[in-house]
Structure 1
Amino acid sequence: MDSKNYHEDLSHIRSMMERSSRFISLSGLSGVVAGLAALIGAGYVYVVFQREGINYFDGNRNIFSPALVRELVIIGTLILFVAVLSGYFFTANKSKKKGLKIWDATTKRLLFTFCVPLITGGLVCLALLYHHFFVLVAPATLIFYGLALVNAERYTLTDVKYLGYCQIALGLLSIFFLGWGLLFWAFGFGVLHIVYGLIMHKKYK
């Protein structure tokens, strides 16, 4: 009986330490919603390219008009907004059910470690757009997003790093197939997010 209580106490202590050092309320459903938004966005971008007479998949260094660049930035911003909003909604709901705080010191550390490579990548992408290296934007977003996930893993679910590794690998691979960057982007931010989200939802439900 004493041995059983001892193991239960150890388990409880480990659980408390895990909660205090890691943000464990991330919801898999937010990944699914983000993935769907990315797929819809990628499909719309392809339609926009067709409308403008741009064959994105020929690998050429196309010159986009300022109006088209603004439209693409707006589309990307909307996708990001949907992903962040869904992430906050599902995570806040999960935290509430578990009786955990959504905003604490661990959350701040998580956001900081996640945002440093993400913001760096965003600035790199702006530079690529400025110099008209549009074909490199998709690989760059995948690589820096993957680095952000791997960097943030220490403060959240360990499984996040595996998604990060996949994003980095896709980004590096897409550099060798520049004409297909949109497909790599759709697979990374769309399909992988959906698969990861469903797995995490089932595992941590």
Structure 2
Amino acid sequence: MTDKISEDLAHIRSMMERSSRFVSLSGLSGIGAGATGVVGAYFAHRIIEKSGSVVNGYYNHQTVFDLVVLALITLIVALFFGSFFTIRKSKKLGLPVWTSTTKKTMIQLSIPLLVGGVFCLALIKYELFGLIAGTTLIFYGLALLNAEKYVFSDIKYLGLLEIILGCIALFWIGKGLLFWTIGFGFLHIIYGVILYRKYK
């Protein structure tokens, strides 16, 4: 009788978790996004090296344009991996992908990211390129913290690390690519592996 009650409680708890959190988020999504970030950082390094225009972290306009295009391509590829593995996990769990929880998660993520994007456009306009890396990491970390209540709580640790890394990057101008590689690359891969092993 006690075992039956325990099983029922566990089932109810599982149902509540599924209804209130975006449990279809896959660890493989993090690994894919991280790997994409590392590859993107490699090509960014090639662009910067080829331009030969770096002076204290500042680049000429053509280099900035090339890096922005590369960043957009990297983002699109990372989103593709994220969507692909998330949809695959949803099908495996027999859960719909687009739910009210998914919408809430997207909204909570989008607000800090959009504000951060506008702020970065201002930095580009006024040629404060050295602050972009730290700024993007900070706003990304804030977005993760903002969405934490709708996804696995582990994401808050990734968010905090991104914010800390971004704050350090603000005072280490000229090493933005290094911080981007760590934040958007290796931290994502580590987080993805932990998430995959814990919730596979």
**TM-score, normalization by structure 2:** 0.96
Structure 1 residues 25-50: Cα deviation after superposition (integer angstroms, max 9, x where no partner):
11111111111111111111111111
Of 105, 109, 115, the match for 2:110: 115
Q: Look up the match of 1:196.
A: 191
Question: Structure 2: any 5+ residue segments left out of the alignment?
Answer: none
Structure 1 residues 141-196: Cα deviation after superposition (integer angstroms, max 9, x where no partner):
10000000011010011111110000000000111211211101110100101111
**C-alpha deviation, 1:63, in angstroms:** 4.6
Poorly superposed stretches of 4+, deviation over 3 Å? none
My pick for the range that moved more, 135-144 or 43-52, is 43-52
**C-alpha deviation, 1:54, in angstroms:** 2.3
Letter in 2 for 1:46: H
Of 94, 99, 105, the match for 2:94: 99
Q: Look up the match of 1:17.
A: 16
Q: Look up the match of 1:62.
A: 58
Matched, 1:186 2:178: no
Contact 2:24 2:90 in 1 (8 A): yes
Q: Look up the match of 2:3.
A: 4
**C-alpha deviation, 1:61, in angstroms:** 5.4
Contact 1:61 1:133 in 2 (8 A): no
**C-alpha deviation, 1:72, in angstroms:** 1.3
Q: Look up the match of 1:31.
A: 30
Q: Look up the match of 1:176.
A: 171
Give the secondary structure class of the aligned counterpart of 2:175: helix
Structure 2 CA distance, aligned partners of 1:184 and 1:154?
27
Matched, 1:130 2:125: yes
* Structure-to-structure mapping, 1:67-86, within 5 angstroms: 67-86=62-81
Structure 1 CA distance, aligned partners of 2:40 and 2:34?
10
Structure 1 CA distance, aligned partners of 2:99 and 2:36?
28
My pick for the range that moved more, 24-33 or 102-111, is 24-33
Give the secondary structure class of the aligned counterpart of 1:179: coil
Structure 1 CA distance, aligned partners of 2:63 and 2:180?
19
My pick for the range that moved more, 183-192 or 36-45, is 36-45
Structure 1 CA distance, aligned partners of 2:178 and 2:199?
30
Question: Structure 1: any 5+ residue segments left out of the alignment?
Answer: none
Q: Look up the match of 2:52.
A: 53
Equivalenced residues, count: 200
**C-alpha deviation, 1:69, in angstroms:** 2.5
Structure 1 CA distance, aligned partners of 2:195 and 2:36?
18
Structure 1 CA distance, aligned partners of 2:155 and 2:58?
35
Of 143, 153, 168, the match for 1:148: 143
Letter in 2 for 1:72: L
My pick for the range that moved more, 137-146 or 28-37, is 28-37
